[in-house]
Amino acid sequence: MFQSLNLVPGINFTNSDPYGSSGGNVRLRGFDGNRISLTQDGIPLNDTGNYAIFTNQQIDPEYIQRATVNTGTTDVDSPTASATGGTVNVVTRKPFEETTLSVGGSVGSFDYRRLIGVIDSGESKNGVSAFAGVSFQQYDKFKGPGELQKLQGQRPHLPGNWRRQLRQRHRPLQRKPQQLLSQPIAGEHCHVW
């Protein structure tokens, strides 16, 4: 998400690694991440102790409808603390009106693998809809032995959607034969990236 915000004048984001699981730094008009408010659907995401932004624990781009950047000091009624540099608000996408299954994956250098799956409930008779998703990303470290792994889920909630970091761990490099199983998915409302 932050990589696309690099196109906005005055905002600068750097990753600690090319795939983003190790975190990074964000600056807005010279202010570091401790002076920038990050909200998702109006809910503050900054750390409550030091106001830091943990860029490796943010929502997957597939779940984002839009992100807005406001430079300068925040409004008086903004749910932020110590946001003298500005605010970044991420808006979660709305669930699809039709029942939909979306599956995607990618591979790359350093044994990079990423899988994502999203299911939309469709709209019920009383107008309620939700979506749930999960993603998995793994790759070898760029310096030294080991690999990085990130698994996170997007879980539904009626007033809005929330996510929780399921796990992020570092473990020694273990070379095992990788099996890739694929099951063809057919249907009118099926998306494969």
Cβ-defined contacts of 2-6 (< 8 Å, 24+): 2/26, 2/55, 2/58, 4/61, 4/67, 5/67, 5/69, 5/88
Asked if pLDDT for residue 17 goes beyond 80, the answer is no
Whole-prediction pTM: 0.66
Which secondary-structure segment (H or E) carries 4? helix 2-5
Average pLDDT, the chain: 73
Structure tokens at 184: 């063809």
Segment 69-96 shows an average pLDDT of 81
pLDDT higher at 65 or 7: 65
**pLDDT of res. 50:** 75
Segment 43-60 shows an average pLDDT of 77
Lookup result for tokens 């000091």: 73
Contact at 8 Å (CB) between 74 and 86? yes
Q: Sign (positive/negative) of CA torsion 75, 65, 15, 39?
A: positive
**pLDDT of res. 100:** 92
pLDDT higher at 108 or 166: 108
**pLDDT of res. 167:** 35
Domains of the chain: 2-92 (2.170.130.10), 100-192 (no CATH)
**pLDDT of res. 86:** 84
**pLDDT of res. 179:** 34
Residue 186's identity, in one-letter code, is A
Q: What are the tens digits of pLDDT across the range 119-135?
A: 999 898 888 999 999 88
**pLDDT of res. 56:** 65
Lookup result for tokens 């190790």: 22
Q: What are the tens digits of pLDDT across the range 144-163?
A: 666 667 676 655 443 343 33
**pLDDT of res. 184:** 39
**pLDDT of res. 181:** 36
**Strand order in 64-71's β-sheet?**
43-44, 36-40, 86-92, 64-71
Residue 54's identity, in one-letter code, is F
Segment 93-97 shows an average pLDDT of 91
Q: Left, alpha or beta for 15 (phi > 0: left; psi -120 to 50: alpha)?
A: beta
Structure tokens at 33: 């991440």
Rounded distance between C-alpha atoms, residue 60 and residue 116, angstroms: 9
